Amino acid sequence: MDSLTIKGIREGLKGRRFSAKELSDFYFKKIEKEDSELGCYLELAKETALNQADKIDNLISEGLDIPSLAGVPVAVKDNILVEGLKSTASSFMLKNYISPYDASCVKRIKEEGAVVLGKTNLDEFAMGSSTENSAFKTTKNPKDKSRVPGGSSGGSAAAVSAGLCCCALGSDTGGSIRQPASFCGVFGLKPTYGAVSRYGLIAFASSLDQIGPLAKNAEDAKILFNAIKGKDKKDSTSIEMEENGEIDFKKLKIGIPKEYFGSEAKKGIEREVVSAIESAIKKIEDMGGRVEEISLPNTKYALSVYYMVSTCEASCNLARYDGIKYGLSEKGENLSEVYFNTRAKGFGAEVKRRIMLGTFALSSGYYDAYYLKSQKVRTGIKEDFEKSFKKVDAIFTPVSPTVAFKIGEKTQDPLSMYLSDIFTISANLAGIPALSVPLKTKGLPVGLQILGNYFEESKLFQIAKLLE
């Protein structure tokens, strides 16, 4: 059962080969047996999940039509609110916070009949690339338990990879869906900024954050994305979007950025990653697609711009955790001490590092030199993509310069950890969609990143199905 896709579950339920309750029971037993070693989940929602499964079974027994995600067991990253469950963002700051409402994306999948199994582990407040920054546990990669699953959506990616859910929701601020998808050998989409409502997502960097699906195949990722996308009156940045038409693959043009994958750039990428990406490029050429080298000249600034913009926004967004409104509250002799004591105990080292960087960059005398300049360069990165998509239909790059690295290998070197996202952050800065597609390898998983023009997610799914 753990290999079932969304389509397979729908067919199985309608054909009465199993019930939604039996399916949910199967997943909870598998989680109980295997997750103590993997560490994907922070909390399970067994009672509410089985109640939802019962509702689906009743619909089927009455001969009524069932919605697109009926009975599908879904895991939700623990920075996305699910009513009645803890939403900790893997931080001591929110250790006992119980969400009073559903995030818009969770509400939508529930309306489509999905069964939420529980909340998955992540890097604290989604700040990290390995899921080692969680305040509660370190998640292991199901493909090699000595290695990280990537981050920050490592719990969601590992749960899908290990068959501890059918599909999952994650969030992506600089690669946090795509990089763990690559490391764990699953599909992961960062949608166009605004394609999915962020209402109910615990904010990290509001102009970069986006919620998206992780799944076993391109079709499942597409079905889950279609369920959560669209305009939401509770998020003014969200937008209604239409599906693109079918691609003529004989006219397909793929761009390969020399800054990401040119002869010089390849020197910084592991050999097995280069080999897998080149095989994917050849497959497209063999199918009649055209491949041409393009240039994204402002790419070299992307890492610096990202860590300036994201830390500045994090500094502002995390100011609300002051020990007064909700979450952890430490005692002090005066208000300032309450603030200092709460934030000192509640936040981990990486979160504190980013808050301090952002606060400094926004301080008097430094705003123009750092934040404002970064936003100007960000515009240049966006314009590079806009020019490229006038020439090509999609862009291919690696997701990560490496395969999954060993647990503990990069924890003492923050810069080395930040470089894990060097190929993914540009998509967030520009706001374009990007899909991680697992490629066939003899060793650890490697992900191909397919970048597309604004609101052309369906084109990315079509290209991905060619490579499956």
CA distance 287 to 150: 32
Confirm whether 99 is domain-assigned. Answer: yes
pLDDT for 176: 98
pLDDT for 322: 94
Q: Is 176 a catalytic residue?
A: yes
H/E element, 222: helix 218-228
Q: Biggest alpha carbon distance in the chain?
A: 72
Residue 246: pLDDT band (50, 70, 90) is: confident
CA distance 154 to 377: 30
Confirm whether 307 is domain-assigned. Answer: no
Confirm whether 321 is domain-assigned. Answer: no
Confirm whether 425 is domain-assigned. Answer: yes
pLDDT for 249: 81
54 Cβ contact list (under 8 Å, min separation 6): 20, 21
Q: Choosing from 152, 182, 197, 420, which is the catalytic residue?
A: 152
Q: In the predicted model, is pLDDT for residue 264 greater than 90?
A: no
Q: Choosing from 161, 176, 182, 420, which is the catalytic residue?
A: 176
Confirm whether 48 is domain-assigned. Answer: yes
The domain that holds 29 is classified in CATH as 3.90.1300.10
Q: Which residue range forms the structural domain that includes residue 280?
A: 1-290+395-468
Q: In the predicted model, is pLDDT for residue 364 greater than 90?
A: no
CA distance 382 to 389: 11
Give the mean model confidence (pLDDT) for residues 54-78.
95
- Integer-rounded Cα Rg, in Å, for the chain is 21
Confirm whether 81 is domain-assigned. Answer: yes
pLDDT for 85: 98
Confirm whether 327 is domain-assigned. Answer: no
Give the mean model confidence (pLDDT) for residues 338-354.
97
Structural domains of the chain, count: 1
Q: Choosing from 19, 21, 24, 77, which is the catalytic residue?
A: 77
Write down the H helix ranges in 6-153. 6-14, 20-38, 46-61, 104-111
Confirm whether 161 is domain-assigned. Answer: yes
